[in-house]
Each structure stands twice: as C-alpha cells, then as structure tokens.
Amino acid sequence: MRRIVLEASSNGRTADFGSAYEGSNPSASATPGQKSTNLRAELKPLARPSHVLVVTLGAVPPRIVGEAGTALQDVLAIPARPGPALERPGYAFNKDRSQYHTAAILRRLASLRSREAPVLGIADFDLFVPDAPFVFGDADRDAGAALYSVARLLHADPDKLRRRAQVEAVHEVGHLLGLSHCADWRCAMFLSRDSADTDRKGPGLCGTCRGALGV
C-alpha cells in the first residue's frame, strides 16, 4: 500500500496530483519543516536509457506527441520513439468518478517496456488515484512506466498547450530517471498543483537536477 507523508512515498510510484498537492516523490524521506533547495537530492539517478517509447492512449493529437519527444531530446538528451496507439482503457475506467485509474494503465504500459527503454504514455482522458481528486500524471520507476494526461492541460493557445505537454513529458520521464520533486518553481520537476503552476515553470531543469542526471 502506498503511504503518503507530506509529498513523499516509500516506493517507486510518483503520482502528480492536482488540488491540495501534486504528489509523492519516488523515495525521498521528507519531514515536516524540512527545507531543501531540491527534494531529489536523496535519490540515486538511474542509468540513462537508449530511448523512451512514447505510447498514446485515446485521441491524442500527433503534434503533442511530437512536442513531447522534442522536449525529451532537448532537455534530457534522450530520443523518443513512437510506440503503439492504444484505445481508451476501459479496464481502468471508474464509472463513479468518470476517471481512469493510473495503476491499471501503468501495468499495461510496463508490459510494452523493453530492457533498453522505459515507456511514457500520453492520454486524452482524466486520471485519478484513490487518494486525490485527480492527477496530472503518475510514474512507476521500478516498472519503467510513466503516464500523463492532457485532459486538464488543453488550451486554445497552441503555444501554451505545446509548452504544457513538454513540461509534463520531462517531469514524468525525470521521475523514471530517478529525479524527485524540485523546490525550484522554474524547474520542470517542480510540483504542479494546477495548470497555472505548469505555466510558470518551463520544460527545462534547474542546475541541481541537471547535475544529478549529468546533462
């Protein structure tokens, strides 16, 4: 069972929550009142993969997939390769919430993982975990699978949508590489509590996070 302590959890799952908080980091041990310039400092970065497999779920516009791939290459120096286009996962749908449970989707995505590459899913529907009203995304570092949704990131301004898609792609893959949440609001690894937070930060990483990954 996943245990929430402020923004920390004891396993490899990282859900990026909206509402009161964005989520838990992969494995850092945060304590009340702790002040740190970067919450990921306690984590050991993982080996850099040869590429990231990007899988769509639902009707995700191709331009979003392309922009996400560009950000992964530019920021993390990891190329993105297209994976299969999947339908909306009926097996993960909760009719009482009209949302899709991330844990079930991550298991499906993990089955597509190769030894060389983790998987990033991009969905067009709203996501949830039981302990939050919604989540922007979720990542299971041990399984090598991450997921985010554009459902709450859509915007009439295509430039703003492009930036949001890039930020969330870098954020979720950053978790797969071993990064936790960052206290620098300009860094892609900052905890976004709503789309306004995502708009304030950029797809780039702060110096501390870049140093941790060696990029």
Where along the chain do its domains lie? 13-27+46-213
- 167 CB-contact burial (10 Å; exposed 0-12 / middle 13-18 / buried 19+): buried
pLDDT for res 43:
52
Sign of the torsion formed by the C-alpha atoms of 128, 129, 135 and 136: negative
CATH architecture of 13-27+46-213: 3-Layer(aba) Sandwich (3.40)
From residue 118, give the alpha-carbon distance in Å to each of 20, 30, 162: 29, 27, 22
For residue 103, the tally of other CB atoms under 10 A from its CB is 16
C-alpha to C-alpha distance for 14 and 103, rounded to whole angstroms = 11
pLDDT at 110: 97
**What's the confidence (pLDDT) of residue 16?**
63
18-46 b/e with 16+ CB inside 10 Å = b? beebbbbbbbbebeeeeeeebbbeebeee
Give the count of beta carbons closer than 10 Å to the beta carbon of residue 7.
Answer: 18
Q: Which residues contact 204 (CB under 8 A, 6 or more apart)?
A: 75, 170, 186, 187, 188
Distance CA 90, CA 100 (A): 8
Q: Provide the greatest CA pair distance for the chain.
A: 44
Contact criterion met (CB below 8 Å) for 2 and 34: no
Query: What is the rounded CA–CA span in Å between residue 172 and residue 26?
Result: 11
168 classed as catalytic:
no
Q: Which of 7, 67, 168, 172 is catalytic?
A: 172
- The per-residue pLDDT string of the chain (215 residues; one tens digit each, 9 = 90 and over) reads 332 222 223 235 666 654 322 333 332 223 333 333 444 444 555 678 999 999 999 999 999 999 999 999 999 999 999 999 999 999 999 999 999 999 999 999 999 998 889 999 999 999 999 989 999 999 999 999 999 999 999 887 889 999 999 999 999 999 999 999 999 999 999 988 888 899 999 899 999 999 999 88
Whether residue 92 contacts residue 117, with contact meaning beta carbons closer than 8 Å, is answered with no
Q: Record the pTM.
A: 0.82
